[in-house]
Amino acid sequence: MSTPIAFFDHDPESLRHWCSNHGLPGFTADQIINWVYGKGVSDPSEMSNLSKDHRMLIAELLPILEGHESRRQVATDGTQKLLLEWPRSGTKMSVLERPPSTETVLIPADARRTACVSSQVGCPVGCRFCASGMEGLDGNLTAGRIVEQAWRLGQLSGGRVTNVVFMGMGEPLANYAAITQAITTMNASWGLGIGARRITVSTVGLPPAIRRLAAFPVPVTLALSLHAPNDELRRQLIPWAEYATISEILSACSDFFEATGREITLEYLLLRGVNDRSHHARQLADIATTLRCNINLIRYNAVEGLPFERPTDEDVHAFQGVLRSRRINTHIRASRGRDIAAACGQLRQESRAGVSRRAEGDESPAEAMLD
């Protein structure tokens, strides 16, 4: 028996087709969409304008929430983190002792409610400073499971999220088909209704996928996880840096800007004594002057078992000063949710017990981005 397509993987046309195939009137699809996206209802039994028989059929054959919330944590700054466990179906994770899991984070700030979503279970990139890739990649999330994260976080805030950042677990552009389908749903008026400018895709830098994203109909914001101002240091910190030089990635980013008119955000994680010295800042300034961009400086957030240290406030502001002296728009990102390990670089599969390993059949960056 084939696995049923979950609600969040549908668009209105495919859901109307599903309804027709199951003997329901086509307009039932619009009713279900309104209940879930418009009213935040995920239990078919509460969809009062549907007949009892139709509600029972939907409950049986149309999964709405696939994930199981196994833990919720609230930080002192109001940040909330969910640990979601997913069914094994649709993944290549048959060898796991426990269900595949991902973490997703709600970051409130005044009227803004930002969902930081994961795109993969684990991460194939293996950045030396990041918790998400410590056990490698266990599989891609479907578009529906990505959308479900944002929907769930919206319910925590009493409505919808206002912004989405693909900065959780995984390399988004290595799961290109799913993240672009998810973005379409997030942006759609019938879906989450989030404007393109409020959706940010963060990538370690896959030039062909960046150029492909430039032609995507929803002109999202692109953030490049640079983290080093030269190729030698970047390859030490980011294993996938061997697939593309900084120059090659910046060329793709320039093409993205030309196609979309969207300024690129350069994300730069400051590691004490590793990449936070004044000569690193000068090298980063040289890079920034070649591109229409702004820079987000991120203080390293400690991960147990990793050897890096958080930079001092003095060093961070000195680094920023070098960049601003070159008239480069530079901000220091606030670290949110550190006390619940929800800050940048701290997300991981915390429900898992096991040893570090990679799933069989993991794809190269070039193969993965073509999914």
Tell me, letter by letter, the H, E, C secondary structure of the chain. CCCCCCHHHCCHHHHHHHHHHCCCCCHHHHHHHHHHHHCCCCCHHHCCCCCHHHHHHHHHHCCCCCCEEEEEEECCCCCEEEEEECCCCCCCCCCCCCCCEEEEEEEEECCEEEEECCCEEECCCCCCCCCCCCCCEEEECCHHHHHHHHHHHHHHCCCCCCEEEECCCCCHHHHHHHHHHHHHHHHCCCCCCCCHHHEEEEECCCHHHHHHHHCCCCCCEEEEECCCCCHHHHHHHCHHHHHCCHHHHHHHHHHHHHHHCCCEEEEEEECCCCCCCHHHHHHHHHHHCCCCEEEEEEECCCCCCCCCCCCCHHHHHHHHHHHHHCCCCEEEECCCCHHHCCCCCCCCCCCCCCCCCCCCCCCCHHHHCCC
pLDDT at 36 over 90: yes
Asked: is 68-354 a CATH 3.20.20.70 domain? The reply is yes
Q: State the pLDDT at residue 304.
A: 82
Q: What pTM does this model have?
A: 0.89
Q: State the pLDDT at residue 360.
A: 33
> In this predicted model, which residue has the larger pLDDT, 362 or 148?
148
Q: State the pLDDT at residue 89.
A: 65
Q: State the pLDDT at residue 173.
A: 98
Q: Which positions are catalytic?
A: 103, 344
> In this predicted model, which residue has the larger pLDDT, 186 or 340?
186
Fold observed for domain 7-61:
DNA polymerase; domain 1 (1.10.150)
Q: State the pLDDT at residue 11.
A: 98
Q: State the pLDDT at residue 132.
A: 81
Domain range list for the chain: 7-61, 68-354
pLDDT at 197 over 50: yes
